[in-house]
Amino acid sequence: MFNQILEQVTGRFGLSQDKAKQLLGMLVAQIFNPKRGGPAGFLQSFRDQGLDDTVASWLGHGTNQPISAAQLEGVLGSETLNQMSAKLGVPAATVGGAAAAILPDAVNELSEHGDLPASAAGIPGKFGNWFGNLQDHLDELGHWSAAAAGAGAAALGASVGTVGDGPVRTADTTKPHASRTGAAAATSVREASSGGIGKWLPWLLLIAAAIAALFFFRSCQRNEAIAPLAPAAPVATPAPTAAVAAAAGAAGNLENAAAEAFAKLTPGQFSADDLVKALNLMIIHFDTDSANISASSDDILGKAAAAIKQAPGGTRIEVGGHTDDTGDAAANQRLSQQRADAVKARLAELGVKADLLASKGYGQDKPVADNDSAEGRAKNRRIEFTIQK
């Protein structure tokens, strides 16, 4: 899966395989950055933007819902993206777009059992070759170097455990057993280093982390049995929450409008213009950075095919693919053509005669909205139907 993620990034954003792998490593390091609250805090930052369903899709099965570069920047901050840009020698806009494209699939791949590891130490070893030396990226965050290993183990008792779809809770760091466990782990690390067996340090740290996590989980269970957790202090939800909800509602309304429009097209009584207006009410969903049409679009495309087959004689329709301006223009052009071809092919599979359809990719050259906003970019990523004269 990580191989596919890197291929998508290199193809769409024009990054080399090495830079794509480094970017993936930097992003995974940010997921496990304790200064952001580890994986739990990282994902909660997206939930605070109103992206609960989006995060749930990353941790569950099915299609991983995408995010925009602006939504990612809202979590990481422009300073972090600029640092990543400087490290890679790639424009910040490209880094933001590529990282936003990587994140949903990366989280999904790391959450093999529906949740993320509580720390980087829990990442399955089979993923080790995909992160461009994750150790270095973690060291750059000042988190996982040998000098900080003891403090990292001690801090584990204060971190959140497994990340899932449910509410996020933090451990009580004042519990005596938690502090003893962290202190013991730190002492073990120091003794191992002074005894000349530094080569065993990673294994000792991993064991210490596992012990600390075990005590933490037991603590959570005991605390919940004694008394419910006190309600968390209210958190101010940023403005994008309402905007995201409104956008989701608008998308649902458009899809309903498309289905209703197709139902009103009486065979033999509608024009080619009527047909195209109905077709352009559709929202066709694709997998992130892919020309693979999502299963959620199967029903509406079936209705579209039925309507096209009843089109007036001589009608020929162009399926046009369009993208926003994120990433490399040439890659966007290729993606738009691939998506237009995919829609044409799907309609043909549904019985539409090949000579009724043409497909063309326009890339980012024909925006219908401002690319400076997430909403505008979403509008620009579209399939548009026109009548060929």
Q: Are 219 and 247 in the same domain?
A: no
Examine residue 235 and state whether it is found in any structural domain, yes or no.
no
The ranges of the chain with pLDDT < 70 are: 1-3, 112-114, 119-255
Per-residue model confidence (pLDDT) at position 92: 85
Examine residue 234 and state whether it is found in any structural domain, yes or no.
no
Q: Are 4 and 16 in the same domain?
A: yes
Average pLDDT, the chain: 73
Q: Are 152 and 50 in the same domain?
A: no
- Measured CA to CA, the distance from residue 85 to residue 24 in angstroms comes to 13
Examine residue 171 and state whether it is found in any structural domain, yes or no.
yes
Residue 111 belongs to domain with CATH number:
1.10.10.690
Break the chain down into helix, strand, coil percent, rounded to 5.
60, 5, 35
Calculate the alpha carbon distances from 143 to 152, 182, 194 in Å: 7, 16, 21
Q: Are 245 and 116 in the same domain?
A: no
Examine residue 217 and state whether it is found in any structural domain, yes or no.
yes
Examine residue 233 and state whether it is found in any structural domain, yes or no.
no
Three-state SS at 170: coil
Rg (CA), the chain: 25
Contacts of 303 (CB under 8 A, 6+ apart): 258, 259, 262, 263
Examine residue 60 and state whether it is found in any structural domain, yes or no.
yes
Three-state SS at 357: strand
- Measured CA to CA, the distance from residue 94 to residue 31 in angstroms comes to 20
Question: Environment class of residue 343 by beta-carbon count within 10 Å: exposed (0-12), middle (13-18) or buried (19+)?
Answer: buried
Q: Of the residues 206, 227, 248, which one is the last residue of a structural domain?
A: 227
Residue 297 structural domain = 240-387
Number of domains in the chain: 3
- Measured CA to CA, the distance from residue 88 to residue 84 in angstroms comes to 6
Q: Of the residues 105, 124, 144, which one is the last residue of a structural domain?
A: 144
Q: Whole-model pTM above 0.95?
A: no
Per-residue model confidence (pLDDT) at position 167: 36
Q: Are 254 and 380 in the same domain?
A: yes
Examine residue 36 and state whether it is found in any structural domain, yes or no.
yes
Q: Are 208 and 318 in the same domain?
A: no
Per-residue model confidence (pLDDT) at position 124: 54
Q: What is the pLDDT of residues 207-264, one digit of tens each?
A: 666 665 555 544 444 444 434 434 444 434 344 444 434 444 444 455 578 888 999 9
Q: Of the residues 144, 171, 196, which one is the last residue of a structural domain?
A: 144
Per-residue model confidence (pLDDT) at position 383: 96
Residue 290 belongs to domain with CATH number:
3.30.1330.60
Q: Are 26 and 61 in the same domain?
A: yes
